[in-house]
């Protein structure tokens, strides 16, 4: 599904994987285009400013034994159960 989404937005997956950061790709998914330098600077600041994790949540995630078969989405879902 993600490759279709990216293709519809006009960017080959390979190009994004090699030339864009995770935050640039997140911006693309949210806003529909890659950010300019100014847009990226604002987006980066907002993500870093609002992306602070509470110490209890950090310890919660550290308590999992991550192995190659561990699904990170399942771990996140446990928070809301």
Place of tokens 């599904």: 1
The pLDDT of residue 23: 93
Distance CA(42)–CA(70), nearest Å, equals 33
* For range 8-32, the mean pLDDT: 87
Write the pLDDT tens digit of every residue in 29-67: 899 999 999 999 999 999 988 877 777 877 777 776 666
- Average pLDDT of the chain is 79
Q: Higher-confidence residue: 23 or 49? A: 23
Instruction: Supply 2's token pair.
Output: 């993600």
Query: In terms of pTM, does the model score above 0.75?
Result: no
**Torsion 41-31-50-23 (CA) sign:** negative
Distance CA(47)–CA(59), nearest Å, equals 21
Distance CA(34)–CA(42), nearest Å, equals 13
- The residues spanned by each domain of the chain are 2-50
């Amino acid at each position: 599904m993600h490759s279709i989404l990216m293709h519809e937005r006009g960017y080959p997956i390979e190009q994004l994987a090699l030339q864009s950061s995770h935050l640039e790709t997140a911006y693309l998914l949210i806003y529909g285009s890659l950010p300019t330098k100014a847009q990226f600077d604002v987006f980066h600041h907002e993500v870093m400013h609002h992306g602070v994790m509470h110490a209890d949540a950090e310890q919660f995630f550290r308590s999992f034994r991550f192995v190659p078969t561990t699904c990170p989405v399942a771990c996140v879902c446990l928070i809301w159960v």
